[in-house]
A and B are shown apart, each in its own frame.
Chain A
Amino acid sequence: MPDTTFLDSTELVLNMGPQHPSTHGVLRVILKLDGEKVLGTDCVIGYLHRGVEKIAENRTWAQFNPYVDRMDYVAAISNGLGYCLAVEKLLNIEAPPRAQAVRVILTELNRIASHLLWLGTHALDIGAITPVFYCLREREEALKIFEKYCGARLTTHCFRIGGLQYETYDGFEKDCEAFCDWFAPKIAEYEELLTNNRIWVSRLKDVGILSGDECKEFGVTGPVLRAAGVKWDLRKAQPYSGYEKYDFDIPTRENGDTYDRYMVRMEEMRQSARIVRQAVAAIPEGPIMGKVGKVIKPAVGEAYVSIEAPKGELGYYVVSDGSTQPYRVRVRPPSYVNLQALDRMVRGGLIADVVAIIGTLDIVLGEIDR
């Protein structure tokens, strides 16, 4: 046998992460490379696994509510909304109209905050340093509204099963409107920095293409799916919390590349601001909690409820055995499912594109590992 060294092989296995600035958390990607070309990947996840679904089985229905915020911690309000809706479905109740309107406002503000963090860090990965400062500045204003409303900025625990814990504070409507007025022009500013920027365009165009059919095969949802030309958004397809009352568009693009996903998310921020404006203008009067007992004890049964989280379809499959504790809470996290398509997207591309593609998937490891 002749002695072979690693120099004789054209293939190289490279480890990226789990401590890497552009894997957005503790994601480890094992890359098989031929020069700069990616031949294949394997994702290693679970570094942040806390056993959230196991914890749920050992808490009461209400006690588990704060835990869901720790999954997708940049869009905690969406997590809470999904969980509350799922348990409300099991109880066969609905939150009162006022609670629903406030839920929509906060969830959409959170979508903006989530997209802003995505935009800032994604641009940072590509090498554009400026946007992240602007994005975090604007996100701060949204977080301030959350803080004023419930006292917390990130893991907010805003909602309760059956409605809201807190009445809105004095000036809540004004703050939300002021935020929308102030924020909407900022999107044009980001676009000015990026949309036609030659470096930005050449780094993103035709990179990491995922067609609509491939998205469906992989179960990929959210902006990634819409960038591939599939006009599907759960807020429109199966409206919840009164989304059918608001007038908004679902932005879509055709190519399904990284650039299109960027464009879709930019437009989504505009649409979210539009929803917030409409919702704020028409918050109905009335109670903020529905008829829910002190002890939450759903009848024996099961339900699957999902919402359009900033990253895609966030689903909860909840099973009750008739006791005060969940028998099973399964979380269907959008990031987990979307990440699975990474291998398809990076194969045959360049190693530099891996960073762009991980960024464009907008994953949160807290949600993937749970």
Chain B
Amino acid sequence: MADEQKPGSPDAPLPEGGEAAKPPATPPAEAKPAAPKPAPPKPAPAHAAPPKPPATMAATPWDTDLSRDLKDRFAGQVTETSTYLGQNFAVVKPDAVIAVLEYLKLEADFDYLVDITAVDWPKRADRFDLVYVLYSFSRNERMRVKTYVADGYQPETAVGVHLTANWLEREVFDMFGISFAGHPDMRRILMPEDWQGYPLRKDYGIIQQDERWVQENLGIESGQ
């Protein structure tokens, strides 16, 4: 899907690329006006040579015993269960994450917390995706628990459920400034402790640095 870049040759890559979605997309558009001649659709392909990728992830519903179980048990808290590229994930309200993780660990055998990370979407009201990657040894299955949190919101720590969350949450705090409530040791981990700013936020520039820290600790004007 990535290759249909060149506006000049829209015809050649069509048979190979995953273009199946494009042609069926036009009939519904034609069906509504009914009368007008097919002139408007025609220039469209020429213009739409770089087929606009969907603005959101093209995830499909995830429907298994586990996802139904989650939705039943946490009615209203689990807002979405989807799968994308064969990988399942559940979107959970921020205050229910720990309960879901605990349930998944004790009742569904997701006993290995692989990773916790975040993604920054500055334009969104709930700015951060907080992502928990889980694995179950007995099921040999992976899933992700996602939640959306606003800047300044303090999600509850997962250390009580998975010990490994300790350093993983510290890194999320270090890089994104998401502070976890109840964490036993909420300090920076990779950056210096008195560093100002959270480097993996999108509004933190690639060459930005804490100049005061650099001058005081390294004795140079700039680290760049």
Q: Is the CB of B3 within 8 A of A295?
A: yes
Chain A min CB distance to B10 (Å): 13
The answer, yes or no, to whether A287 is at the interface (CB within 8 Å) is: no
Chain A min CB distance to B31 (Å): 26
The answer, yes or no, to whether B183 is at the interface (CB within 8 Å) is: no
Q: CA A303 – CA B83 in complex, angstroms? A: 10
The answer, yes or no, to whether A15 is at the interface (CB within 8 Å) is: no
Q: CA A205 – CA B140 in complex, angstroms? A: 32
Q: CA A91 – CA B53 in complex, angstroms? A: 12
The answer, yes or no, to whether B49 is at the interface (CB within 8 Å) is: no
Chain A min CB distance to B92 (Å): 16
Interface size on B, residues (CB 8 A): 49
Against A, the Cβ 8 Å flags (1 = close, 0 = not) of B52-66 are 011111110000000
Q: Is the CB of B2 within 8 A of A292?
A: yes
What are the residues of chain A within 8 A of B115 when measuring CB–CB?
A: 304, 315, 317, 330, 332
Q: Is the CB of A302 within 8 A of B57?
A: yes
Across the two chains, which residue of chain B brings its CB closest to A333? B115
Against B, the Cβ 8 Å flags (1 = close, 0 = not) of A296-319 are 111111111010000001010101
Chain A min CB distance to B9 (Å): 12
Knowing A90-B85, A303-B87, A306-B114, say if A328 contacts B119 (CB, 8 Å).
yes
Knowing A49-B190, A219-B164, A237-B140, say if A293 contacts B3 (CB, 8 Å).
yes
List which B87-129 residues lie within 8 A (CB) of chain A: 87, 111-115, 117, 119-120
Q: Is the CB of A299 within 8 A of B199?
A: no
Chain A min CB distance to B211 (Å): 16
Q: CA A302 – CA B88 in complex, angstroms? A: 11
What are the residues of chain B within 8 A of A219 when measuring CB–CB?
A: 112-114, 162, 164
Q: CA A237 – CA B53 in complex, angstroms? A: 33
Chain B min CB distance to A366 (Å): 13
Q: Is the CB of A330 within 8 A of B117?
A: yes
Q: CA A300 – CA B166 in complex, angstroms? A: 31
- The size bracket of the interface on A is 35 or more
Knowing A46-B192, A91-B2, A217-B163, say if A299 contacts B53 (CB, 8 Å).
yes
Chain A min CB distance to B19 (Å): 12
The answer, yes or no, to whether B5 is at the interface (CB within 8 Å) is: yes
Against A, the Cβ 8 Å flags (1 = close, 0 = not) of B24-35 are 000000000000
Q: CA A92 – CA B17 in complex, angstroms? A: 11
The answer, yes or no, to whether A190 is at the interface (CB within 8 Å) is: no
What are the residues of chain B within 8 A of A295 when measuring CB–CB?
A: 2-3, 5
Most-contacted residue by chain B among A91, A216, A300, A304 (CB, 10 A): A304
Q: Is the CB of A300 within 8 A of B57?
A: yes
Q: Is the CB of A300 within 8 A of B111?
A: no
What are the residues of chain A within 8 A of B84 when measuring CB–CB?
A: 301-303
The answer, yes or no, to whether B167 is at the interface (CB within 8 Å) is: yes
Stretch from A19-27, A50-58, A255-263, A270-278 forming part of the interface with B = A50-58
The answer, yes or no, to whether B133 is at the interface (CB within 8 Å) is: yes
Q: Is the CB of A92 within 8 A of B85?
A: yes
Q: CA A45 – CA B137 in complex, angstroms? A: 30
The answer, yes or no, to whether A327 is at the interface (CB within 8 Å) is: yes
The answer, yes or no, to whether B216 is at the interface (CB within 8 Å) is: no
The answer, yes or no, to whether B214 is at the interface (CB within 8 Å) is: no
Q: Is the CB of A49 within 8 A of B191?
A: yes
- Listed by A's residue number, 27 A-B pairs whose Cβ atoms lie within 8 Å are A45-B189, A46-B189, A53-B175, A57-B206, A219-B162, A232-B137, A237-B140, A238-B140, A294-B3, A295-B2, A296-B2, A297-B5, A297-B53, A299-B54, A299-B58, A300-B53, A300-B58, A302-B57, A302-B84, A315-B114, A315-B133, A322-B53, A330-B115, A330-B117, A337-B168, A340-B164, A340-B167
Known contacts A304-B87, A317-B115, A330-B117; 16 additional CB pairs below 8 A are A49-B190, A53-B175, A54-B204, A89-B85, A91-B1, A92-B1, A217-B162, A217-B164, A293-B4, A298-B1, A299-B2, A299-B54, A300-B53, A301-B85, A313-B114, A315-B114
**Interface residues, chain A, with chain B CB atoms under 8 Å away:** 45-46, 49, 51, 53-55, 57-58, 89-92, 216-219, 230, 232, 237-238, 291-304, 306, 313, 315, 317, 319, 322, 327-328, 330, 332, 336-337, 340, 369-370
